Amino acid sequence: MIKDNFGRTISYLRLSVTDRCNLRCFYCRPCQSRFMPHETILSYEEMIYLLSIFSEMDVQKVRLTGGEPFVRKDILYFLNRVKTTLPDLDMRLTTNATLIAGKIRALKDIGIKGLNISLDSLDRHKYQRITGMDCLDNVMASIRRCLNFGIRVKINVVALKGVNDDELSDFVNMAMELPVDIRFIEFMPIGHKTLWQKEHFWSADDIVSEVQNMVEIVPAPFSSLNHGPAAVYDLVEGQGRIGVISPLSNHFCGTCNRFRITADGRLRTCLFSDNDFRLLPLLRSKKISKERVRIVLERAGLQKPMGHEIMGARGSSEKSICSRIMSSIGG
């Protein structure tokens, strides 16, 4: 197992397969930036090798992120290889769902049980302003197709005061009608040249309070297995659920169980910290054994910080916590 100095055990890995994306959401990629050179990106074989090491160290769940995972060539081949090589690994994906329409049956056949779909607006014109693309109809059709194939869907909504707070009732109605989790994530001041502003902050408590004024909700039963940061509520008379993720107003660092690997093979022990460990040279060296890589992962675990302490220590004039843009961090 990988443990840190606070008694936390790492059982969950977020692996970015690419920093490229076909959308340009203003909070994720707010500036012109160069993509990582191809030769610096982890190959699929290197990713599978790394996943096998993590699996041997009792990491039970991996979420593949980006950028947008489905812009990478042969992604279905990779997913199938992972499932074949590591059948006991719980593998999930986060996607914007703009490129999956013709791949949903294949995802089901491979054994993908759930998708997290980023969707910040249910209004077509607003969606286009946020993302730079007119793809909302395509996304909504893919969500319904996923549900028809029995793939569980969680909708991730970045909560933006003055941007999408007027759509709360629309999202609640969606959860009433469809068996989906809709999770509102507090907007965080993360990434190079972030456009985070205090006036855009919409707290999790305010969201829950407003939902309670619309419909009856009750806390969902808690599951401790690879638990995530979301506080989830069942809709008493609806098919889906509402969740909130509160990294700013009510941090969950004390139970954080995750590592992040960027597409260029850098291990980040905390989303809020720019300290990372370069794994790519280790994976490409014939002199470095699997046991040596394990030792590096164990030592990295011992340096995992409490993210809220980094948040609290940042200067009042400093807007961003991290120097890399969010799409290169990998979520």
Of 271 and 317, which is predicted with more confidence? 271
Residue 212, domain CATH: 3.20.20.70
Kindly report, residue by residue over 121-177, the tens digit of the pLDDT.
999 999 999 999 999 999 999 999 999 999 999 999 999 999 999 999 999 999 999
pLDDT-based confidence at residue 229 (cuts at 50, 70, 90):
confident
Burial category of 311 from C-beta neighbours within 10 Å (exposed 0-12, middle 13-18, buried 19 and up) = middle
pLDDT-based confidence at residue 246 (cuts at 50, 70, 90):
confident
Q: How many domains is the chain built from?
A: 1
Distance (Å, whole) CA 155 – CA 120? 9
Task: Give pTM, 2 decimals.
Answer: 0.89
Residue-range definition of the domain harbouring residue 229: 2-329
The pLDDT of residue 317 is 43
What Cα–Cα distance (Å) separates residue 29 from each residue in 34, 38, 42, 161? 11, 19, 21, 19
Kindly report, residue by residue over 194-219, the tens digit of the pLDDT.
555 677 789 999 999 999 999 999 99
